[in-house]
Amino acid sequence: MSFLDVKDLKIHFPTDDGVVRAVDGLSFSLERGETLGIVGESGSGKSVTSLGLLGLHKGGRAKISGEIWLDGEELVGATAEHVRTLRGRKMAMIFQDPLSSMHPYYTVGHQIIEAYRIHHQVSKAVAKKHAVDLLGRVGIPEPDRRVDSYPHEFSGGMRQRAMIAMALSCDPELLIADEPTTALDVTVQAQILDLMRDLQREFNSALIIITHDLGVVAELSNDILVMYGGKCVEYGSTDDIFYRPEHPYTWGLLGSMPRLDREPTERLLPIKGSPPSLINVPSGCAFHPRCPYAELTQGKSSTEVPALAESGGGHLVRCHLGKAERRRLWETEIKPVLETQ
Amino acid sequence: MRRKSALAAAATAALALVLSACGGGGGGTAQQPAQSASGGAAQPAFNAGLTSVYNPSTKKGGTLKAAHSSDWDSLDPGDTYYGYSFNFGRFYWRTLTMYKPGPGPEGNTVVPDLAEGLGEPSDGGKSWTYKLKSGLKYEDGTPITAKDVAYAVARSFDKETFPHGPSYLNELLAWPKDFKGVYKTPDADYSSAVEAKDDQTVVFHLNKPFSSMDYVVQMPMTAPVPKDKDTGAKYKEKVISSGPYKFETNEIGKQFALVRNDQWDPATDPNRPALPDRIEVQLNVNADDLDNQLIAGNIHLDIPGTGLQPAALGKVLPDPALKARTDNPTIPRLWYVSVIPDNPPLDNINCRKAVMFAADRVANQTAYGGEVAGGEIATNVMPPPIVGQEKFDLYASEGNKGDVAKAKEALAACGQPNGFSTTMVFRADRPREKALAEAMEQALAKVGIKLTLKGFPASSYFSDYAGNTAYVKKNGVGLAGHGWGSDWPDGYGFMQAIVDSRTIRDAGNYNLSVKNPEVDKLIDQASAELDATARGKLWVDVDKKVMEDASILPVVWAKALLMRGQGVTNIAYNEGQSMYDYILLGVE
Amino acid sequence: MFTYIIRRLIGAVAMLVVISMVTFGIFFVVPQWAGATPEAMASRYVGRAATPETVHLVAERLGFNDPVVVQYGRFVKGLVTGAEYDYGAGVEQCPAPCFGYSFISGQPVWPDLVDRLPVTFSLALGAALIWVLAGVSVGVLSALRRGSFFDRLSMGTALAGVSLPIFFTGMISLVIFSYGLGWTPPGGAWTDLSENPAQWAYNLLLPWITLAFLFAAGYARLTRAGMLETMGEDYIRTARAKGLRERDVVVKHGLRAALTPILTLFGIDFGLLIGGAVLTETTYTLPGLGQFAILAIRNQDLPQVMGVVLIAACFVVVASLIVDLLYAWVDPRVRLS
């Protein structure tokens, strides 16, 4: 069994308009020291997945099923109080917008100290020293002074470093970063990603990076999971996803990757339409209304849900198109276009 | 008149509404024999305190708890002019005469208090002599002499220091020309006005003959004040007692407490039983809460004595047990409309008569709350409790509903056959006065007299509006809502202030409309008449002259609903005070 | 910070000057527009059927014959340097700040104000304690159990509390609890704290609860709305992600942020209340500043009106200054300059 094993995870929210199937049968696993990228557009269910792992999915109304095994412990059936004691200590999270994610009324130091003292019975002075150390380690200059600053007194990048310091305060073995660089300038993004890679090596923790941007996970991840409509549509090693992608949606994501030498809004292979509503997921393959190759399935795509099938070497794809067909399309239609750029 | 609080007006209005709805009878209730050696066993009955003493007792001791929804003008006997103050003050002051304590018509008569007997007139009623009893002492044990009474009268002359008290003695007595009061002219000899012949004898010297002197000297200006303890405007903080109680504490505007004055000798005072050991008074109590406390028995006495508030009436009247604790006397008070002759066409007597005839008396009475509680329909000025009063009606109409034909005749005689327009003012914060104005507007419209109604705050009604001659002239005011209660129960005490045209000044007038030299002449005659019966007749003549002048439109002779406190003994309505007789009260 | 406070205080003094001028103006100028003479004004302060001489003497003594500017100047002079009062038998010194002497009772105003302050302060303090604790906790619970029976019940009660006037709730409670059940003292009960603390609290219990009910309702609604907003904030998710106990998440992170607007409201409410809880004091006959204000206005007693208006304005000004200072302390993003 792996360090983290997620099996058939489902998180459904009953609402007045119907059941929102935010996560609908997701499975993956991860070892210590490894990095998994979860990629998808907003509304694909990737953020709910991360919150579900921490037991933070909203309130008592959400229905969660499946299994989450963390270091040999099952979390879905565990008590809320037990999961709470694991949060911050065993598993921690870095959020997207560090300004809104840090409490505006408390100093950065206070928030790190609080995180540390939840799980460690130490004096405030000891915790503060620890906080200063952490701030130094995440590259904040003059940490002994900045520890008493408020979040709004930090720059965006500094805040994210502080956020990372807070997440690392109890040496978590599983670190989940939800869009850790989205709110930051492009140059700062690179620094933060470098920092996370360095720290992961240092702490040997398992890292999940959640993002809508394949570029973010390209260099960090060992494996990548592409989500669409609450389901995994393609899973594979980073090489699989970047050099041998087989799902039309992944192709779309690759085509939307912002690059430094290109106008960020310009898209080469745009994905038509918008992500599906999680209440009324399209029948059959959830992606079929937007898929340029849907007609090649002779109508199967709109009636039958495709299975997540092995495509060789642990590479999984959920698509009605035959493996040969997918390879052909990639080699002849997609890859050349991407490479001309 | 003695002031009644504005709240009392509202209370009576609502009371009237409720009572008229209930149709309960105000008179004719059989008197319950109420006898008990020590109190506590009396059967409560409606009007039980009107003609006999309810729950009589001679038991001494206990604390009488009283409350007031507002505050005294002053506790200084020389600076106070509220009816309740005159009534309550007798706990700590004694005057030359006083109303005979107790129930029934006898309460309208005066008996000696400090004096051995009533005043002896001489010089045709221009001099009045009073002999003091012996053995009278202040709370500090010093004897009370005629000099102290004369000094008290003289000090009350200074209206800059004592602006609140009645001015009767300022007007009546022959003060020296250069006299400006005992503080500004400390060496002045005021014996030309009030003189201490010896330690026992006080003589008043008047400008002209005046017959009602015994009523005037029952007022607190004659309560003795020791000169060496007099602190002017600050004397009210520490009044030196001449009565059975003295001040223990006095927090102006909040509360005070009286305790027994051991220097008071009951042998000199047959009128005051002085039953409680202690009297506590709380001031500025929320008026509705005061009623609730009175009903619940937390307090014994509602000081202002003007009756229950509207909120309490709704609770008391439907409940036989609570109603049995009340008395419903007709008080010496008239609610009326001044018909002001200052602006045309009301300067013409026929136009005023048109108003008299056009008014719907039943509608007006209903506006004041109906027959039982609002009061009896008034047909002339003097109310029934006034000694010598006669009832007459110069403007009678079928069913008291007004006489349109006669009103139109009067209009034609006035040269306004199609009617005219004028303004009626009223106190906007008094609902019943507003209702009266509306009733007048409707009734007068039937004969073509068009009224414009204007309401003003009661607090500045007489100073700035209805009682301000410039305002009345400038704004063409023709009618004004008004009410009046008597200072003492004879013609002078009720009528003089509201019908003598010589009292009229620029502002703050209470006589708004009676400007008739014949009335003034009759007033002088009546004031000088020493024979009580003849005097009574003369005042009836004044009343008739005013009604002929058509400058006052009477509405109702008012009634009040008073509640007897729980655990209180010796309760009786005194006609002279037109309240319960406070000095009789005791506690079980 | 220091210069900020100084600047605010100077502004406050300027405001008090304006308020005093306006009050004075309403008192004197408005009746004059309606044609009132000095005698007409003086006739408010004499007994009934007073003679013209009496009215004239009183107008002279109260200074109504002088121009309003001169009268205002005299008032300000009394505040700064003190004044003298002729009580007939002698002259009394009224040391600064002399708000003058009542037109009605002739009592100096300032000692009366000082005397009544503890009553109002006791009332406001106790009530504030109750309404903040009750209002905030009900608001928090309602927000956390949004849509539950408790939420609906408490918000319904809160609506009633906001809409019912004190003279109604106060009178009803007196009738039920004081006169019916006899649990609480009758209206008008007041004991000084220094005299007997237990009696003090017992006497004030009903006024406290009545007054608190009115305010607690508003605070509950405000807290609920604030909590609903802050509990949806990202930093609450962060706090949970750290593994913080839910109670600490609610109190230390959610409530802390939701309290900021409540603090502002509280400062102003409390400042207004110690300037006089008018309705509560009138209903329960408590000899505080509010009762004093009502009586002063009812009697048109200008020196008392001026005194209580200025004192009340002072409290509001000071309260809002304290709120602003606290605000900067509570929310570090606010900088005073």
Give the model's pLDDT for residue B418. 93
Judge whether A88 is closer than 8 Å to chain C, CB to CB: yes
Q: How far is C53 from chain B (nearest CA, A)?
A: 8
Give the pLDDT confidence of C16-58 residue by residue, as tens digits. 899 999 988 888 888 777 777 888 888 888 887 778 888 889 9
Q: Which residue of A has its CA nearest to C258?
A: A105
Burial-class residue B217 by CB neighbours within 10 Å (0-12, 13-18, 19+). buried
Instruction: Point out the residue among B159, B292, B311 whose CB comes nearest to the CB of C54.
Output: B159
ipTM of the complex as predicted: 0.86
CA distance B192 to B210: 16
Instruction: Point out the residue among C44, C175, C283 whose CB comes nearest to the CB of B459.
Output: C44
Q: How far is C15 from chain B (nearest CA, A)?
A: 30
Number of neighbours of residue B24 by Cβ within 10 angstroms: 16
CA distance B35 to B41: 8
Phi/psi of residue B559, nearest 5 degrees: -125, 155
Q: What does DSSP assign to residue B44?
A: P
Number of neighbours of residue A258 by Cβ within 10 angstroms: 15
Model confidence at C337, pLDDT cuts 50, 70, 90, reads: low
Residue corresponding to tokens 């009602």: B212
Inter-CA distances, B444 with B408, B423, B431, B441, B479, Å = 11, 12, 20, 5, 12
Q: Give A87's strand partners.
A: A91
Give the model's pLDDT for residue B37. 43
Residue corresponding to tokens 């507007």: B441
Size of interface B-C (CB pairs under 8 A): 176
| B4 pLDDT more than 50 | no
Contact between chain C and chain B (3 or more Cβ pairs less than 8 Å apart): yes
Model confidence at B8, pLDDT cuts 50, 70, 90, reads: very low
Look at C244 and A118 and tell me if their CB atoms are within 8 Å: yes
Judge whether C36 is closer than 8 Å to chain B, CB to CB: yes
Give the model's pLDDT for residue C2. 80
Judge whether A150 is closer than 8 Å to chain C, CB to CB: yes
Return the H-helix or E-strand segment holding A76: none
Inter-CA distances, B427 with A120, A148, B175, B351, B462, Å = 77, 68, 38, 24, 10
Give the pLDDT confidence of B443-459 residue by residue, as tens digits. 999 999 999 999 988 77
Residue corresponding to tokens 């059936």: A77
Q: H-type helices in B50-93, by residue range?
A: 83-89
CA distance C310 to C75: 12
Judge whether A149 is closer than 8 Å to chain C, CB to CB: no
Tokens encoding B490: 């004879």
Instruction: Point out the residue among B171, B181, B295 whose CB comes nearest to the CB of C51.
Output: B171
Q: Is the dihedral of CA B233, B236, B242, B248 positive or negative?
A: negative
Burial-class residue B27 by CB neighbours within 10 Å (0-12, 13-18, 19+). exposed
Instruction: Spell out, as residue ranges, where chain A has pLDDT lower than 50.
Output: 264-266
What is the arithmetic mean of pLDDT over B489-506?
A: 90
CA distance C273 to C294: 14
Contact between chain C and chain A (3 or more Cβ pairs less than 8 Å apart): yes
CA distance B41 to B55: 7
Residue corresponding to tokens 């809502």: B481
Amino acid letter, B128: W
Q: Alpha carbon C112 to chain centroid distance?
A: 16
| B571 pLDDT more than 80 | yes
CA distance C288 to C310: 15
Is the separation of the CB atoms in B53 and B578 below 8 Å? Answer: no
Return the H-helix or E-strand segment holding B527: helix B517-528
Tokens encoding C255: 């409530």
CA distance C33 to C37: 10
Phi/psi of residue B473, nearest 5 degrees: -65, -50
Give the model's pLDDT for residue A314. 87
Model confidence at B23, pLDDT cuts 50, 70, 90, reads: very low
Give the model's pLDDT for residue C87. 87
Which of A249-258, B350-359, B480-489 ranks highest by mean pLDDT?
Answer: B350-359
At B554 the three-state DSSP class reads strand
CA distance B498 to B510: 6
Q: How far is B494 from chain C (nearest CA, A)?
A: 12
Contacts of C153 by beta carbon, 8 Å cutoff, 6+ apart: none
Is the separation of the CB atoms in B48 and B572 below 8 Å? Answer: no
Strands B477-485 and B421-427: parallel
CA distance C287 to B251: 11
Minimal CA–CA distance to A319: which of A238, A242, A256, A226?
A: A226
Inter-CA distances, A240 with A39, A243, A245, B581, Å = 14, 6, 6, 110
| B357 pLDDT more than 80 | yes
Inter-CA distances, B272 with B36, B275, C177, Å = 19, 8, 38
Peptide bond into C186 cis (omega under 30): no
Tokens encoding B274: 């002085």
CA distance A221 to B181: 107
| Average pLDDT score, chain C | 88
What is the arithmetic mean of pLDDT over C68-93?
A: 89
Q: Is the dihedral of CA A133, A135, A140, A145 positive or negative?
A: negative
Which residues in chain B have Cβ-Cβ distances shorter than 8 Å to C47?
3, 73, 79-81, 163-166
Look at C90 and B497 and tell me if their CB atoms are within 8 Å: no
| Whole-prediction pTM | 0.80
CA distance C134 to A160: 39
Inter-CA distances, A299 with A231, A285, A294, A304, A305, Å = 21, 10, 7, 9, 12
Burial-class residue B1 by CB neighbours within 10 Å (0-12, 13-18, 19+). buried
Give the pLDDT confidence of C239-265 residue by residue, as tens digits. 999 989 989 999 999 998 888 889 888
Instruction: Point out the residue among A86, A101, A150 whose CB comes nearest to the CB of C235.
Output: A101
Q: How far is C333 from chain A (nearest CA, A)?
A: 7
Give the model's pLDDT for residue B34. 40
What is the arithmetic mean of pLDDT over B4-27?
A: 36
Q: Is the dihedral of CA B366, B368, B369, B375 positive or negative?
A: negative
Tokens encoding B390: 């006669």
Look at A104 and C240 and tell me if their CB atoms are within 8 Å: no
Minimal CA–CA distance to B332: which of B556, B129, B110, B57?
A: B556
Give the model's pLDDT for residue B9. 39
Judge whether C287 is closer than 8 Å to chain B, CB to CB: yes
At A21 the three-state DSSP class reads strand
Contact between chain B and chain A (3 or more Cβ pairs less than 8 Å apart): no
Contacts of A155 by beta carbon, 8 Å cutoff, 6+ apart: none
Q: What does DSSP assign to residue A25?
A: E
Contacts of A251 by beta carbon, 8 Å cutoff, 6+ apart: A245, A269, A330, A334
Instruction: Point out the residue among C48, C49, C89 whose CB comes nearest to the CB of B232.
Output: C89
Tokens encoding C19: 């308020």
| B27 pLDDT more than 60 | no
Judge whether C221 is closer than 8 Å to chain A, CB to CB: no
Look at B507 and C104 and tell me if their CB atoms are within 8 Å: no
Give the pLDDT confidence of B210-252 residue by residue, as tens digits. 988 999 999 999 999 999 999 999 999 999 999 999 999 999 8
Look at B282 and C188 and tell me if their CB atoms are within 8 Å: yes
Which residues in chain C have Cβ-Cβ distances shorter than 8 Å to B460?
31, 36, 44, 300
Amino acid letter, A283: S
Look at B464 and C88 and tell me if their CB atoms are within 8 Å: no
Judge whether C61 is closer than 8 Å to chain B, CB to CB: yes
Minimal CA–CA distance to B154: which of B221, B199, B219, B97?
A: B221
CA distance B254 to B233: 18
CA distance B81 to B220: 9
